Structure 1
Amino acid sequence: MAEEVNAFPQTLTIAGTDSGGGAGVMADLKTMQERHVFSTAVIVAVTAQNTLGVQDFMALPKKLIDEQFASLADDLAIKACKTGMLADAEHVRIVADNLRKYDFGPLTVDPVMIAKGGAALLADDAIEVVKEELLPLATIVTPNLPEAERLTGMTIATPDDTKLAAQQLQAAGAKNVIIKGGHGDTDTVSDYVLLADGHDFWLSSPRVDTVRTHGTGDTLSSCMTAELAKGHDIETAIRTAKDFVEAAIKNTIQVGHGHGPLNHWAYGEAHTK
């Protein structure tokens, strides 16, 4: 009997490229491949960047972004999707409009604002648009601490602050929230998770002393997307993604002179031996 067309789990990343290969669409595709799903992409912006920083970027015209969405919807069966770098308010709206038009399954919103080297990847006027147009569509939103502060207008200094920020993001429309603790200064990295049903918990891991963390947020969110596409529940997807990223940081590869990339195949090697 012929295999059913489009039966294989398929995912979509909606983001910007990284010519250095460590973050953005490149990190998403590598992660999704490692998690054994077929990954596709809608390119919103193209960057010139490496491990030392972002030298330049350009967002694509609306017509080309719309056509990418339409092309995928016409042929494939996307089971889960994610957003990354969206550049500015206009492009956030373009993406949100398309996500309302097409059903690409659970949506992970990674509110990418600043690159590891400090370059702004989201214009200030886009933050309100993310809150108003993307968060209500989100199955899960995955900000780091600075991003959570920008989205909520809060200063997050304590665990209680983190919990309150997650509640505010949920009130803004995101069903599930994970606030990543990697920007803290403690020996342990603690991520806070608030699920749609009110269940909450912390995920902690030892901090690894390394600058090779470029693309951490992209990798975490794309791993979650892959797990959701395979039909796993949100908590399982989050826990798998946390383990995946921890392995990718601990088992470093030496690439570039700045904030180097993760080792995207480390988790798979550890679980196939």
Structure 2
Amino acid sequence: MTEGTYLPLSLTGQTPLRVLTIAGSDSGGGAGIQADMRTFALLGIHSLVAVTAVTVQNSLGVKGFHEMPLDVVGGQIEAVASDIGIHAAKTGMLASSAIIETIADVWIGQGLDGTVPLIVDPVCASMHGDPLLHPDALAALKEKLFPLATLVTPNLDEVKLLVGIDVVDEESQREAARALHALGPKWSLVKGGHLRRSAQSPDLLFDGTEFHRFDTTRIDTVHDHGAGDTLAAAAASALAHGYSMPDAVGFAKRWVTECLRAAYPLGQGHGPVSAMFRLPS
């Protein structure tokens, strides 16, 4: 990724654009709000945060999590929306149907629906398979939040949970994109990072009429913790800058590819992708 493809940075002393992450905290620092804030900062975005849960995790997996009280989750969104302003937002770990319903109610109540781009990254489980969403919350995710979403960005395991389609090739990826779009978001993105049989990492974007395909050569690394969060955060940052959805997803795809290329080992398990590649060496 060359310097010219980065999002423009704010000048010193200017207030940068603001993007909200509504997600869980990762004690290992690899994913969740920590990953989102790294990408926001290195793209010149001011981070706004609504913490939904605090996880107990490291590079080996999630040991447990504690959900935040509903009034705290909703209150965080109301506080920043009413005072600071939001140019785009993304969700991550939402944990329960009650939290999802609270977010949806506050989003509508604050007049954000249809005015602020919202990316829903439907985090259902960690990369180790540890559950991060109560089973009964899947219905709330689809019924309450997907219709408010500008874009949904599930990985292939999440696609199977959400619409029951096992993506194995381009045909089933298109079928999944259609099924996800039918749940109400303006755009659906079926990520192909887990399509291990392919030398490429193909992502497919759909707006109900037209498909857009994004291919990159697969980066051979086990250190991919936080890749989904990072892609969604980069896309939200691009939307805040006024990018079209295909351009925002294309930018995010290039960004996360470079983050994967710069990933590093951490602990005894999977290390994180690294947005710090942008820092001067």
Matched, 1:176 2:184: no
Q: Which of structure 1's runs of 4+ aligned residues deviate more than 6 A? A: none
Residue 201 of structure 2 aligns to a residue in which SS? strand
Bigger CA drift: 132-141 or 255-264? 255-264
Residue 237 of structure 2 aligns to a residue in which SS? helix
Match of 1:154 among 155, 165, 174: 165
Q: CA deviation at 1:62?
A: 0.9
Match of 1:133 in 2: 144
CA contact (8 A) 1:80 1:105 kept: yes
The Cα RMSD (Å) is 1.9
Match of 1:13 among 18, 21, 35: 21
Q: CA deviation at 1:82?
A: 0.6
Count of residue pairs the alignment pairs up: 266
CA contact (8 A) 2:73 2:99 kept: no
Distance 1:153 1:93 in 2: 23
CA contact (8 A) 2:155 2:190 kept: yes
CA contact (8 A) 1:117 1:259 kept: no
**Structure 2: gaps (5+ residues):** 1-10
Q: CA deviation at 1:7?
A: 5.9
Give the TM-score of the pair, scaled to structure 2. Answer: 0.90
Matched, 1:34 2:42: yes
Q: CA deviation at 1:99?
A: 1.3
Match of 1:74 in 2: 82
Match of 1:143 in 2: 154
CA contact (8 A) 1:44 1:59 kept: yes
Residue 124 of structure 1 aligns to a residue in which SS? coil
Match of 1:247 among 227, 233, 258: 258
Distance 1:50 1:142 in 2: 24
CA contact (8 A) 1:15 1:84 kept: yes
1:1-273 matched pairs, under 5 angstroms: 8-102=16-110, 103=112, 105-185=116-196, 186-195=198-207, 198-266=209-277, 268-269=278-279
**What do residues 106-152 of structure 1 show as CA deviations (whole Å, max 9, x unaligned)?**
00000001101211011111111111011100000000111111111
- Aligned residue identity for 2:203: D
**What do residues 66-104 of structure 1 show as CA deviations (whole Å, max 9, x unaligned)?**
221221122111010011000011111111111112227
Bigger CA drift: 87-96 or 133-142? 87-96
Match of 2:6 in 1: none
Distance 1:187 1:66 in 2: 42
